[in-house]
Amino acid sequence: MRKTEHTTLERIHEVAREEFLQHGFIQASLRRIVRNAGVTTGAFYGYYNSKEALFEALVGEHYQYFMDCFRKAQEDFARLPRERQPEELGSISGACMTEMLRYAYRHLDAFKLLLVCSEGTRFSGMVDEMVEIETKSTHDYQEVLNGLGRPSPRIDPRLEHILITGMFNAFFELIIHEMPLCRAEQYLAKMRMFYTAGWMKIMGQ
């Protein structure tokens, strides 16, 4: 890529980031982005074919890393011998959540876009996706407990959904409010203790 092209694309991204952060995806104006970036509409379409594609360019890589990290933690836990899973409950997911938090802080604008500005895009359902993955993992773990002779009572699906959604919303509040990372990590550790103890109680462990 020639230097002029690189500079133009960087300027489009910078202006678009500000526009999306200020107005959200739905209310953001592609015409305003083009004007403030100092490029023609034709020049813009040489890079992206839509506002959606531009938003994707700003957040897609970070969204994918975040979700891959989360899925891997669930898979790594599920691969543990079932006898080890109760004693390792929370350790793998805890390390993953800490890494996800640190990654989000390294790319704070992208995650502000994902968490508060993405309505109208495929990214707006990120919390719901994580809830779905966590719910399945919870059910799988209950089966492990049953197989170990430590039966776990059925959890009301509505309560389960509320609790898991609340857990992720609490996690994302750390990012949205941009508290110092060291404080956010302290809060995350306490939140993990709180939710792990709560789930163990609900599961009769």
* Residue 24: CB atoms within 10 Å: 16
For residue 101, give Cα distances in angstroms to 110, 118, 137: 13, 19, 21
171 touches 127 (CB < 8 A)? no
- Single pTM value for the model: 0.89
Burial 115-136 (b: 16+ CB within 10 A, else e): bebbeebebeebbeebbebbbe
The pLDDT profile of the chain, 205 residues, written as one tens digit per residue, is: 444 556 889 999 999 999 999 999 999 999 999 999 999 999 999 999 999 999 999 999 999 999 999 999 999 999 999 999 988 887 888 889 999 999 999 999 999 999 999 999 999 999 999 999 999 999 999 999 999 999 989 899 999 999 999 999 999 999 999 889 999 999 999 999 999 889 989 988 8
> Which SS3 state, helix, strand or coil, does residue 66 take?
helix
* Residue 49: CB atoms within 10 Å: 10
